[in-house]
Structure 1
């Protein structure tokens, strides 16, 4: 219409995907509500709609063999193309023509066969939650059943669990702590390293999660990087709470569908300090920087190759100063120097053997380093060594996952992952009786092998069953486990559903814990080396109901039993035994 033509407009495009096989779907009608704008997907599922008015729009996707899907509240911005990857679910026989209303939070969780306690999010969501500071971990603290430790860090407590029970995953690869100023084995820090400007459709799981996710007892962040625009080049520059950011994305050439995405960020306090400004922290100025990238290389006959990575470094020095009253963290009698580094790089290959079967092979490397130095200051302000820490962990990862859609009723996903873990720890402290002595010195390697299988069966249009098995083996002390997962979802006639899920979940201890040395007589021995896995059982029952105007109410009751948690043998000793246990339950709702 004439009114629409006068408004700023943008292109909405994307790829329509079969939810079960992950293959592109052709002949899907894609339309913008309230306009005559629309298009049809090609044989690869690709669609393009030009001239879409800037603002919030709703998109309807329809196909004769798939359930109808409405995407609501889709943001269309004038300076950037909107790229969507909607997933359609194949109909079971002749189904009713009920519209599936999706606000982006139902697609990825369905693909991963999660029955309960799963929320999907993207970059826009991380900006909309109060107090998130563009950090997805802080965003998650707004979810039901999730709490933060304090405002100074983004560690999250899921249903009363330790923050150490959280799994971070990037592009299908388990990664170390993705936070600046973080410590080895931890899952949080003051500033997140995952830049929300490069985040794609991702998910957060808080209980009874499917078998794809293991070696965790509390929850999982399954983060993906979005694809770069393969149609035109776009650039980003901004200054915010987390720092100065610059980014670029686009196609490598007009003749190729290959694309790149890269984003770099430098800390705002460090930038202000370098320009001679005062950030109000005295001499202790936090400096950090991070980089994230993704390169997509489609090759029609041999599949899709994706090179991805992220990394960052952080550093802060607390120097003892009797006159420095502006630094709240100042200890006038000690100098403290802390630095941390983390990185991950991977190559992923996705190949469709036929229209219903695909494999994903991933090779990756991850690493992290934490260095801490503390010196005591004498009366003359001369430093003396008091504590030294230099911890390094890195791993090489190889994984293979196969996805098979047998029919509209049955789907199987199975995979195996091999991790070669390397570690190097040196911790030393000054002792008043024995002088400057090391209490942890270890450099070696071990292996972690994991496997899973997840089956989904749709009995009919209302009842869906998800079952799975997960297993892992740690060669360090020959610990192994096999876990079962099961969940059911029953759709109610009046736009609602009942859900019920049970899962057994196991987690190895943080790697450094196994090598802590305890003084026994005149010798130091590794008393934790034979620690077993911490085990947790999750039971979650839920009810959800769709309200008017795309509102949804969800109620979940959960119970959790933890056993074999490591407990210190003495209050001031790092030596531990697998004798800890605990129980928790609760009722949570969300709107």
Structure 2
């Protein structure tokens, strides 16, 4: 029997979630309204409040021209850089802002809801020319983060919400970007340019977070369902490489989640039902608009409908989460922001029949909870601004595994055979400064202190294993207790292990951006990272460049050294701190790219990269056994002697929604290979050679189509009225995704025990030869999505329906090896419906 230490919850509950989606569709359809005549329920207009700030200093910009694209309606910013647009009809807008001496910018997909106030913030970049009355433009593709100069893309809330195939999950949305692949449909972990998912940094309003998902496990950065409430999102910025010295202790990417403020003018709320659960949010002003709050709660609902028994399901997932944000102006120049996010999830897998989902155990109970809390003080100082952040992240995991037996009376009995508890806590105290340098140059500096604690307790019941196939003898492994005769019998006592480590991580950086001309800039920086436990201290220089040889053309380049500490569980692995001195992983990155904007809403880009890794881990036991054939050798020592390289070329085309159409197309070709003393050279586990994603969407409304309205009034119009297409805004979108087969190491299945037994038990061993010598079949999936928005009175209703894997393609995620010798593929999501509904008031 092999007991799991890490359990991916969704791999065991794919069928359960499919049932959840179907039930959600049925439930939401019951509440879908038909068209409401305008004279019966007149729409209430909405308001847009915004602020325009200097990108470097965060100081307000006065007198900025603000114009709704394709209209004559506009305004200008006041002394606080603020503006208000009143009496806007509900719908989706694009907004352009421009000011002398700054690059103008356009923001699209700004959603206006009835009787609600939407907010937006613009960060404008100063030009090197001030005296001339000339306005320069960046169009729809301005980069709001000066610390992410290359390989970066930004998304607004609405882009995340309506992305097809992503079920409103931000980590699944960014998988449509170049250089990004997914671990599997069952998990939203991202793989960036051949790197491990643990190499990706997630930041929420300045708080560094390892995982923001339900049903994650120790060391993971993803899960099947996000715990983040998308209604908090203002925008998302993702960089797949070349990020500046501000970001440390990660090697591959940065995902910045910038959260919006709640309404400072009036109270409002919403209720929603979808894949992520059932819940809602409330927001409103504090002290007459001096501050604001937004709070939300959400929980699973399949457990409420079907309960835990009599359903035929292997398991029923249970989870809940809460989120809150408070913004308060201590003074006009000092803003205090408080964020909290809590999440809890449980899953109880009862698989007495051995379907394969429980991976060899008949009953598995898992529970985890996560608490994230932090405060940020943002202060404006005229020539720059500072952020002081205090935060903490606490994660707890509990695993129990049982074997199910039958007594003499055929009554079911359960026996615990495995238990593991893990507590992981990370605290954060950080300071960041950004301000003007000489002329139009700018500089920034900062430091971070992160106390970390990792406490793991593991218990495994004593066991006796019998091998009777002669495989071990054929390898010359003679440690049997039967004088070389079969069967080989191994007896193990109870295994009990408790490991705890507490230490401190440190980081600091300094960087300077030189802008000698309006079309050329260089950002240079130096990063320090240290870990008290391993006594590791590293310095990492980084340089990036942006050059515009002609209007609408950009050339970018970056080079840098990136360092990352090993996962905490690796340091505590083994006895007597044998792995406490592990060195940091190092990755050297080289990036070169170019982009062209044939028009303000369209961008074409191509980028190449090379990543050279060193300091990856390989076990001393594997090295000795594989190089000497001494299979008696045992060791818990890990050695940082594995290397890896990854290189690739990416193409990306994007059309923003300037009119009714939007779309993206990305294609990446890459190669990732590892080398270590035990296994030699082999394809890395994330060697995805070809990754291609195409997304297209069209926005319209049928309520202005005379022919359709005539059919709606016809005798058979009742059929059209019940369809989810009669809203004020109708969005049709589609996504197709192709990924070449992921490498894996094949396993050989053989019988255990007496071969004459009528019910033999099977066991596996890795196939001889190099690692990852096989590939899963290629992945391909086509998704369709429909979004339908209704505005009536002072309320709105948004409904979406998604068909995932339209062609019902069997994409293999893994293989299940059952005790009876059967090998079955575990498929990723097959054809099914996903639906959701949101009511705002």
Using the size of structure 1 for normalisation, the TM-score is: 0.91
User: Partners in 2 of 1:573 and 1:154 — Cα distance?
Assistant: 34
Helix, strand or coil: the match of 1:547?
Answer: strand
* Residues 48-107 of structure 1, C-alpha deviations (whole Å, 9 max, x = no match): 01122333333222222323333344333335433110111222125684652443x533
Residue 214 of structure 2 aligns with which residue? 180
| Change in 2 beyond 3 A, CA 1:582/1:206 | same
**Shift of residue 277, structure 1, vs aligned partner:** 9.8
Partner residue of 2:123 out of 78, 87, 106: 87
Is this contact kept in 2: 1:362–1:399, CA < 8 A?
Answer: yes
Mapped partners of 2:275, 2:333: distance in 1: 43
Q: Secondary structure at the residue paired with 1:538?
A: strand
**Greater mean deviation of Cα atoms: 454-463 or 262-271:** 262-271
Spell out, residue by residue over 1:442-497, the C-alpha distance to the aligned partner (whole angstroms, 9 max, x if none).
Answer: 22410001111222121111001111111111000201111011000001323110
Are 1:107 and 2:143 matched, yes or no? yes
Give the equivalent residue in structure 1 for 2:247: 213
Whole-Å separation in 2 of the counterparts to 1:72 and 1:333: 51
Structure 2 distance, partners of 1:556, 1:150, is 25
Among 435, 444, 452, the residue aligned to 2:493: 435
State the distance in 2 between where 1:58 and 1:123 align: 14
Matched, 1:164 2:225: no
Q: 2:612 aligns with which of 544, 561, 572?
A: 561
Question: Which residue in the other structure is 1:357 paired with?
Answer: 384
* 1:136-155 deviation digits (Å, cap 9, x = unpaired): 11111111111111111111
Give SS of 1:64's match: coil
Which residue number corresponds to residue 12 of structure 2?
none
Aligned residue among 552, 556, 560 for 1:503: 560
* Cα distance in 1 for residues equivalent to 2:387 and 2:56: 15
Q: Please, which of 444, 465, 472 is the counterpart of residue 413 of structure 1?
A: 444
Change (3 A) 1:544 1:331: closer
Does the CA contact (< 8 Å) of 2:441 and 2:512 recur in 1? yes
After superposition, the C-alpha distances for 1:378-428 in whole angstroms (9 at most, x for unaligned) are 343422231111000112211111122135521111111111112211112
The corresponding residue for 1:578 is 640
1:330 Cα offset (Å): 4.8
How much does 1:332 deviate? 8.3
Q: Answer whether contact 2:103 2:138 (CA < 8 A) is retained.
A: no
- State the distance in 1 between where 2:535 and 2:248 align: 17
Tell me how far apart the structure 1 counterparts of residues 606 and 462 of structure 2 sit (CA, whole Å).
Answer: 54
Cα gap change, 1:498 to 1:331, in 2 (>3 Å): closer
1:134 aligns with 2:168: yes
Shift of 1:200: 2.0
What secondary structure does 2:548 align onto?
A: strand
Residue 700 of structure 2 is matched in structure 1 by none
Aligned partner of 2:348 in structure 1 is: 317
Distance 2:197 2:517 in 1: 39
Q: Secondary structure at the match of 2:559?
A: strand
1:268 is the counterpart of 2:295: no
Aligned 8 A contact 1:90 1:408 in 2: no
Contact kept? 1:261, 1:293, Cα under 8 Å? yes
Cα distance in 2 between the residues matched to 1:245 and 1:72: 28
> Structure 2: where are the runs of 5+ without partners?
1-41, 464-490, 623-633, 654-841
Give yes or no for contact 2:500–2:572 (8 Å, CA) kept in 1: no
Cα 1:317–1:134 shift into 2, 3 Å = same
Match of 1:31 in 2: 67
Give the drift of 1:130: 2.3
Q: Per the alignment, in what secondary structure is the counterpart of residue 517 of structure 2?
A: coil
C-alpha distance in 2, partners of 1:8/1:107?
34
Question: 2:97 — aligned with what?
Answer: 61
* Cα RMSD (Å): 2.3
TM-score by length of 2: 0.65
In structure 1, the residue matched to 2:366 is 338
Tell me, yes or no, if structure 1 residue 542 matches structure 2 residue 542: no
Q: Paired residue for 1:392, among 423, 431, 434?
A: 423
Aligned partners of 1:308 and 1:281: how far apart in 2?
Answer: 40
Q: Is the 8 A contact 2:314 2:351 kept in 1?
A: no
Contact 2:58 2:380 in 1 (8 A): no
Distance across 2 between alignment mates of 1:246 and 1:506: 40
- Give the Å deviation of 1:281: 6.5
Alignment partner, residue 318 of structure 2: 287
Contact 2:110 2:158 in 1 (8 A): no
User: CA separation in 2, counterparts of 1:106 and 1:538?
Assistant: 24
Aligned equivalents of 2:133, 2:105: Cα separation in 1: 13
**Structure 1 residues without counterparts, runs of 5 or longer:** 1-5, 518-523
**Comparing 329-338 with 470-479, which one deviates more in the overlay?**
329-338
Match of 2:839?
Answer: none
SS, match of residue 294 in structure 1:
strand
Distance 1:573 1:554 in 2: 49
Matched, 1:228 2:290: no
Residue 234 (structure 2) aligned to one of 185, 200, 205:
200
Q: How many residues are treated as equivalent by the alignment?
A: 569
C-alpha distance in structure 2 between counterparts of 1:96 and 1:542, whole Å: 32
Asked if the contact 1:365–1:395 (Cα under 8 Å) also holds between the matched residues in 2, the reply is yes
Summarize the alignment of residues 411-560 of structure 1 with structure 2, pairs less than 5 Å apart.
411-432=442-463, 433-438=491-496, 440-517=497-574, 524-548=575-599, 550-560=601-611
Superimposed CA distance per residue, residues 313-352 of structure 1 (whole angstroms, 9 cap, x where no aligned partner): 1000112433xx8x76257862211011111101111112
Aligned to 2:433: 402
Q: What is the CA-CA distance between 1:306 and the residue it aligns to?
A: 0.8
Q: Which has the larger radius of gyration?
A: 2
Match of 2:652 in 1: 590
Q: Please say if residues 506 and 529 of structure 2, whose CA atoms lie closer than 8 Å, have aligned partners that are also in contact.
A: yes
The separation in 1 between residues aligned to 2:360 and 2:618, in whole angstroms, is 35
Cα distance change of structure 1 residues 516 and 431 upon mapping to structure 2, 3 Å threshold: farther
Does the C-alpha gap of structure 1 residues 277 and 38 become closer, same or farther in structure 2, counting only changes over 3 Å?
A: farther
Distance apart, 1:356 and its partner CA: 1.4
Residues 128 and 547 from structure 1, CA distance in 2 versus in 1: closer, same or farther, beyond 3 angstroms?
farther
| TM superposition shift of 1:28 | 1.5
Distance in 1 of aligned mates of 2:132 and 2:194:
42
Q: How far apart, in 1, do the equivalents of 2:593 and 2:380 lie? A: 36
User: Could you tell me how far apart the structure 1 residues matched to 2:312 and 2:44 are?
Assistant: 44
Preserved contact between residue 72 and residue 101 of structure 1 (Cα < 8 Å): no
1:21 CA drift (Å): 0.7
Q: What does residue 185 of structure 2 align with?
A: 151
- Are the equivalent residues in 1 in contact too, given 2:45–2:115 (CA < 8 A)? no
Q: 1:369 aligns with which of 365, 385, 396?
A: 396
> Compared with structure 1, are the counterparts of its residues 286 and 92 closer, same or farther at alpha carbon in structure 2 (3 Å cutoff)?
same
CA distance, structure 1, for counterparts of residue 309 and residue 495 of structure 2: 41
1:184, CA displacement in angstroms? 1.9
Q: How far apart are the structure 2 equivalents of 1:503 and 1:133?
A: 35
CA distance in 2, matches of 1:302, 1:499: 35
Distance 1:301 1:157, change over 3 A: closer
CA distance in 1, matches of 2:313, 2:635: 35
Q: Is the CA contact 2:265–2:289 (under 8 Å) kept in the aligned structure 1?
A: no
Q: What do residues 525-583 of structure 1 show as CA deviations (whole Å, max 9, x unaligned)?
A: 44322111111011110000002361101100111100111112335976421001011
Deviation at 1:231, TM superposition (A): 1.3
Q: 2: distance between equivalents of 1:73 and 1:490? A: 29
